[in-house]
A and B are shown apart, each in its own frame.
Chain A
Amino acid sequence: MLWLISGILLYLGFLLTVSVLLAETAWSPVKAPVKTRLRLSLQRVARSQSEIQNSSERILLLFSLTCGLLTATLFPAFIQNLLLPFGQHTEVFTLISSRNAPLISLGLFILLQVAGHISLALTERRSHTIATLFLNGYFWLPLILAWASVAAYLPVHSEHAASGAGSGVWLVLLQPAGILALLLTLTGPVLLVNAQQPRPVQPVQHWIRELHLFNTVTGLAIVLASLTCFSPLEGISKGNQIIRFALTPILLLLLLGIHYRLLQYLRKQGRIAPEMLWKLTLWLSLISLSASFTGFHLLGMSDYYMHMLLNFSLLAIWWGFLVPKFPFRSPRHHQESFYESAREIN
C-alpha cells in the first residue's frame, strides 16, 4: 500500500515536471538550463491563468487537468488489469474485476483522454480553427475503430476465447496497424497543433496538452507490454513478467521517439492539411479493424504467427496501395525553394 502511494506520487511529480518542461519548448530555446526553463514556464502559465476572465473556461481547464491527473492515478489499476494474469489481483486495488477487465480499462483510459482533449478544445475554439476539428465527431471516429481493433487482442478470460499458443507475443508485434492507428489518433490533437507554424498555443492549454501527451504515451506503453489473448490461461512464468515490466519504460521512450519524429516530418512538409491526415488515419483504423475481424472470425486463427503475417501484409497493402492515392504533396512554392537550394549547392 505504502509503496503504491509513493509510486503514484513519484510518477505524478515526474509527469508534472516533464509536461512543464515540454510546454516551454514553444517559447524558449532548448539549450537553456533546466531550472530556468522550469521557472519561466511556470511563470508563463501563471500569467496566462490570470488572463483568463471567463469562469467557464477556467472550469473547463480544471476539468481537463483533473482528467489528466485521474488517468495518472489510475495507472496502477491498469497495470494490474493488463500486465498481471487474471486471478493474481490483490484485494486492495481491484478497480474492475470482471473477466473483461483489460477491455474496460482500455476503454476508460481512452474516455478520460478524449474528455480531456475535448474540454481543452472548447476553451480554444475562439483562438484557432484547428480546435474546431477536435470538436467534431468525425475526428474521434478513427479512435473508436482503432480501440475495437486492438481490444480484440486483449485477454477476455473465457473458455470461448482464443488460447492456442504457448506463450504471449506482445501487441506491438501482433497488431501493428491497430497500434499505429491508436497512437496516431490519441496523440492527434497534440500532433496537429504543434505541427502548425506558428503554433497557435497559449501557455496553460499547451501545458495541459503536453501532460495529456505524456499520459497517452505511458498508457499505450502499458497496453503494448500487456498480455494478449494468446497467452496461456494458467500462470505465466516469473521471468516473462519481469521482462514485461522492464519493457514498459523502453516502449515509452520508443513511442515518444516515434511521436517526435512524426512531428518533425510534418513540420518539414511545410503547410499540412489536417483533414487529409485524418482521412489517412481513418483508412488505417478501418483496415486494422477488418484485419482483427478476419483473423478471429473468418479464418478462425488461433495461431499468433498467422495473425502477425496477416497484419504485416495488411500494413504493406495499406502502405503500397492506399498511401499513394493520398499524396502528401508539399505546396509548390515549398518544392521550388527546395530546388533552388539544391541548385545553390551544385
Chain B
Amino acid sequence: MAWSYFLILLLLASMMASVLWRTIQIFFRNDEVSTDLDTSQRGEQAASTPARQQALHWSFTTILISGLVLLLVAGISVQTASIHDPTTWSLGAALLLIWGMALSSGMLSVPQSSPEPSGVILSEPQEENGCSG
C-alpha cells in the first residue's frame, strides 16, 4: 500500500517534470534574451583549470565513517540505555572511531599546517588560481 503510493507519486512527479520542461521550452522561446553572465571570465576559468583539479576524490574513509554513522542512527531506538548496556558501548566505540578517522585522515586539520593535500581532501584549488574566479 505505502510503496504503491510512493510509486504513484514518483510517476506523477516525473510526468510533471517533463511537462514543465516541454512547456517552458515551447511557450517561452525567445532567442533575444542572453543567458550568460560573464562569458569571457567563465571561458577563461574553465580553460585555465588543470585537469587535476577536476578530478574526483572518493575516499574509503568517508565511506567507513558513513557506515558507522548509520550504525549510530540504528541505535537511536535505545535512546536512554545506560552506560552498562553493550549497545551503548558499541555505539560509543563507533563515535570514537569516527572522531579518530576524521582526525587522522586530515579532514579536520588546518590547511596551513599540512600544505600537501592528501588523497582524502579535495586538492586545494583556491591557492593557485582561485575557486572563486
Give the B-binding residues of A (Cβ under 8 A): 12, 16, 26-27, 39-40, 42-51, 62, 65-66, 69-70, 73-74, 93-97, 100, 103, 107, 125-130, 132-133, 135-139, 141, 144-145, 147-148, 151-152, 156, 158, 160-162, 196-203, 229, 271-276, 279, 282-283, 286, 289-290, 293, 296-298, 300, 302, 325-326
Contacts and interface: CB of A to CB of B under 8 A. Distances in A.
Contacts of B126: 271, 273-275
B76 A49 contact: no
A40 B33 contact: yes
Given A127-B42, A200-B42, A203-B35, A275 B124 contact: yes
Interface residues of B, number: 73
Given A70-B9, A276-B111, A42 B28 contact: yes
B2 A96 contact: yes
8 contacts: A69-B13, A107-B73, A132-B53, A137-B58, A141-B66, A144-B70, A197-B132, A198-B41
Contact of A145 (B69, B110, B121): B69
Nearest to B72: A148
B44 to A, nearest CB: 11
Contact of B107 (A133, A135, A138, A289): A138
Contacts of B27: 46
Contacts of B35: 44, 47-48, 51, 202-203
Interface of B: 2, 5-6, 9-10, 12-14, 16-18, 20-21, 24-25, 27-31, 33-35, 37-38, 41-42, 45-46, 49, 53-59, 62-63, 65-66, 69-70, 72-73, 76-83, 88, 91-92, 95, 98-99, 102, 107-108, 110-111, 120-122, 124-126, 130-132
Contact of B83 (A43, A127, A298): A298
B13 A73 contact: yes
